[in-house]
Structure 1
Amino acid sequence: MPDTPLTVTTHPHEAGLVLLHVAGDLDFHTAGSFRRAIEDLPESPGPGVVIDLSGVTYCDSTGLTMLVRAYHHTRSSGTPLVLTGPDDNLTRMLSIVGLDRLFTVFDTQEAAVAALTA
């Protein structure tokens, strides 16, 4: 089965943080697009970065590795990174490999923004 193309769209938020909307398959074949989006983040993205995973249709171990890299990339500048909207399969994967202890995950983008700007 062919990959669903990955799109990563970066949106500055009025509260000063950065929203990344990820859609499609986040896997070995598409990870480069995600990595470039993370590397292109502003050096100081305000109060935080929200990665919206509600559009992710599939994620493999390479995709999980990219999420961890994103976390370390933002943490190196002291910027919090949170996830929002993972489906049940991705939520389960995060839990199985222990990444639910690394990432703060919110059900909605609005809840994530509220937490980072409180």
Structure 2
Amino acid sequence: TVALTGSLGLTTVPAARERLLRACDGPGISLLLDLSGVTSCDTLGLGLLVAMARRARSFGSGLRLVAPSPAVARALEDSGLIRLFCVCPDIDTSARTPGTGTPGPVLPEAA
């Protein structure tokens, strides 16, 4: 489980990316991404989430978004990206949700 806090945008995405890459460094690792402490999320933050989901799936692993804050939930809903993720309301639910490592929807290539 990796918890992100604060803003998820231009100035913070590079450090968050490095942290997440270290956390899912190889096949078979299912990443739980706790987003309850994220105060804002812009398009770069959304891009990071999509990139990490693609990376996890390329390794045959899974990515679950846990307890997204209202800011993250709104950004995911407004962008239509919510349908690409397994979103769980809390850590306990994420552990009981079947399907870790199963292929999800095809994620679009970055432009």
TM-score over 0.5 for the pair: yes
Structure 1 residue ranges (4+ consecutive) displaced by more than 6 angstroms after TM superposition: none
Identity %: 30
User: Secondary structure, in 3 states, of the residue corresponding to 1:63?
Assistant: helix
Shift of 1:92: 1.8
Give the equivalent residue in structure 2 for 1:43. 26
Shift of 1:117: 8.0
**Residue type of the alignment partner of 1:35:** R
C-alpha change, 1:53 and 1:30, in structure 2 (3 Å) is: same
In 2: Cα distance, 1:104 partner to 1:50 partner: 10
Shift of 1:100: 0.9
Aligned pair partner of 2:4 in 19, 22, 35: 22
CA RMSD of the aligned region, Å?
A: 1.7
Provide structure 2 residue ranges, at least 5 long, that are not aligned to the other structure: 101-111
**Residue type of the alignment partner of 1:42:** D
The structure with higher relative contact order (CA 8 Å, sep 6+) is 2
Higher strand share: 1
In 2: Cα distance, 1:92 partner to 1:104 partner: 15
Q: 2:70 aligned with 1:100, yes or no?
A: no
Conserved? CA contact 1:22–1:53, under 8 Å: yes
